[in-house]
Chains A and B, each alone.
Chain A
Amino acid sequence: MLVSGIKSRPVYTGLILDPHAEHHLIAVEGEGALAVLDMLSPAPRDAAEKATILYTKAGSAPVDHEGALAKLHPYRLQPLPTIQTLLIRLQGFLTTAKMGTRLYIAGTEGFIGQAMQVALNNAIDFHSVRTEHRGSLARRIQCVHCKGFTENVTMSHVPCAHCGLNLLVRDHYSRRLGAFQGVCIDAEVPGELPPAEEIFP
């Protein structure tokens, strides 16, 4: 049911260290921590010394990567209880950040999308943010009908958490909203649905 080749579908090219950055600001959720370890472990010592890591275990709970991240001896490691608190913290850092700060985001797509929204709202160019998708393929979707968001969608279609319409999950992505689009799948004959498949485990 997914239409392939939709250009708005984001591509995450992986965390690559910018050796010239004065400061590495790293927003990381769940298994995204593994991407941070992969980037910083082999890097020269001063990379971690210039790194601020904002970490929430969210999707990877009960596994906690905080200990492993601490062993990198970053300049600053801030564990945060939820994605929402992490995003508020990120906004706080970006408010006073200077050019020369490089932003990295790693974790599930829903997290990357929301952290990217914060970045865009702070006038960071989309292409300058280094991103890596780790963990579940679950999607954050927006119902195009009632505009409500439904988080952690793993199935090919899902009832909207707000208005209850059955939504087909598309590849069509909104960078501004940080979400995929969900479109009513049974408009002609309500209730007539193909079986839902788990395609974003």
Chain B
Amino acid sequence: MSMNLMSGSTEIPVRVADIVQVSERVKRFRFEPVAGGSMPVFSAGAHVVVSMNIGSRRARNPYSLMGSVTDLSAYEISVLKTVDSRGGSVFLHDSVKIGDQLTVSTPVNLFPVEQRGRKFILIAGGIGITPMIAMAEQLTAQKLPFELHYAYRNDQAGAYADTLKARYGHLVHLYIDSRDERIPLDALLKNQPLGTHLYVCGPGGMINWVLESGRKAGWPEENLHSERFLAPPSGKPFSVVLERSKKTVTVGEHESILEAIEASGVEPPYLCRGGACGQCLTGVVSCDGTLEHNDHYLAPEERDSNQKIMICVSRIKGSNLVLDL
């Protein structure tokens, strides 16, 4: 494991250097280190967790880094404003101004470019374009062949579509839902040279469609890569007993177990806070209801064992959960 992973929860104070409205619901933020100097090195596909104080609550959201890996003077992220979210994206859009201070984690890459690959197919849906922007930049610098297939809802929604098209020309293929344009996935999967790797980022349904089509076209699992961060779903409040710390906390309606535990002063390890990485895997001692697994990390048999839970996104249906923490 890299140093970055080891220090995944290390927070770096940053100043908002620039905010750009990219499309109807997407803003780009540029974060410079408050202490001066440069930000830690990262590779394309990496994300950071941005911490925000929203009222009395501390929200932490993962965002892919989209800037050039050679420019460490600042990090850039793009944020889609989702109104039914728990406030992080709305806060960034409506309350954060140039000059404000936030903290970001050191970067973690759960979606790295396979360096032994011969060719790369990048498929993005909507805001899933952000890691692909860094990948396209890195692959260009490495002189590795790639093509980018970018689907979005309508003309107003295609953040960066024009910039990408201008920069990479025929390597970029755009598909607009409202014009009934679809990614010709089956044809795409059929005609790739050996050693091609596929990367997909976007809505859950799209990711499943792409991965399933890839498997059915005989692509090995090792050549199919995806990333999706989940926001912790809301639900009824319940209490959590931390057996080793001898603490009891209440998980609110719009709070994750991890956030409730952090608010009590206990700091469990985490990396992505989006159900993807497995770092916050926690042992379940007992539960008076049923576990609601919302992650996409645990294998089906692990879910069914009722002995483990990913506390960043999962909850329980019940009133009391005892954790080995």
Contact A102 B217 (CB under 8 A): no
Q: Which of B15-23, B134-142, B193-201 contacts its partner? A: B193-201
A127-B118 CB under 8 A given contacts A20-B215, A122-B195: no
A21-B218 CB under 8 A given contacts A123-B116, A125-B223: yes
* Per-position binary interface string of chain A over residues 114-139, scored 1 when its CB falls under 8 Å from any chain B CB and 0 otherwise: 00000010111101100000000000
A122-B194 CB under 8 A given contacts A99-B223, A100-B189, A128-B223: yes
Indicate if A22 sits at the interface (CB-CB under 8 A): yes
A22-B195 CB under 8 A given contacts A99-B189, A100-B190, A123-B118: no
Contact A102 B220 (CB under 8 A): yes
Q: Which residues of A contact B196 (CB under 8 A)?
A: 99
Query: Could you tell me how many residues of chain B have their Cβ less than 8 Å away from some Cβ of chain A?
Result: 21
A94-B222 CB under 8 A given contacts A22-B217, A100-B189, A123-B117: no
How far in angstroms is the closest Cβ of chain A from B120?
11
A99-B222 CB under 8 A given contacts A94-B194, A123-B118, A123-B194: no
How far in angstroms is the closest Cβ of chain B from A15?
15
* Per-position binary interface string of chain B over residues 31-48, scored 1 when its CB falls under 8 Å from any chain A CB and 0 otherwise: 000000000000000000
Indicate if B191 sits at the interface (CB-CB under 8 A): yes
A124 to B191, alpha carbons, bound, how many Å?
Answer: 16
Partner of B190, one of A21, A98, A125, A128: A98
Contact A99 B217 (CB under 8 A): yes
B221 to chain A: closest residue by CB: A128
Indicate if B97 sits at the interface (CB-CB under 8 A): no
Q: Which residues of A contact B208 (CB under 8 A)?
A: none
Q: Which residues of A contact B114 (CB under 8 A)?
A: 125
A102-B218 CB under 8 A given contacts A123-B116, A123-B117, A128-B223: yes
Indicate if A66 sits at the interface (CB-CB under 8 A): no
Contact B194 A125 (CB under 8 A): no
Q: Which residues of A contact B191 (CB under 8 A)?
A: 98
Contact B116 A99 (CB under 8 A): no
Partner of B219, one of A100, A120, A127: A100
Indicate if A6 sits at the interface (CB-CB under 8 A): no
Indicate if B192 sits at the interface (CB-CB under 8 A): yes
Indicate if A64 sits at the interface (CB-CB under 8 A): no
A24 to B117, alpha carbons, bound, how many Å?
Answer: 21
A99 to B118, alpha carbons, bound, how many Å?
Answer: 11
How far in angstroms is the closest Cβ of chain B from A89?
16
Contact B215 A99 (CB under 8 A): no
How far in angstroms is the closest Cβ of chain B from A128?
3
Contact B217 A128 (CB under 8 A): no
Contact A127 B222 (CB under 8 A): yes
Contact A101 B222 (CB under 8 A): no
* Per-position binary interface string of chain A over residues 93-105, scored 1 when its CB falls under 8 Å from any chain B CB and 0 otherwise: 0100111111000
A94 to B193, alpha carbons, bound, how many Å?
Answer: 9
Partner of A98, one of B116, B194, B223: B194
Q: Which residues of B contact A122 (CB under 8 A)?
A: 194-195
Partner of B195, one of A18, A123, A127: A123
A interface residues (Cβ-Cβ under 8 A, vs B): 18, 20-23, 94, 97-102, 120, 122-125, 127-128
B interface residues (Cβ-Cβ under 8 A, vs A): 114, 116-118, 189-196, 215-223
Can you pick out 28 interface pairs between chain A and chain B where the beta carbons lie within 8 Å of each other?
A: A18-B218, A20-B215, A20-B218, A22-B190, A22-B217, A22-B218, A98-B190, A98-B191, A98-B193, A99-B189, A99-B194, A99-B196, A99-B218, A99-B223, A100-B189, A100-B190, A100-B217, A101-B218, A122-B195, A123-B117, A124-B194, A125-B114, A125-B222, A125-B223, A127-B220, A128-B220, A128-B221, A128-B222
Q: Which 6 A-B pairs have the closest CB atoms?
A: A123-B195, A128-B220, A100-B218, A125-B222, A21-B218, A99-B192
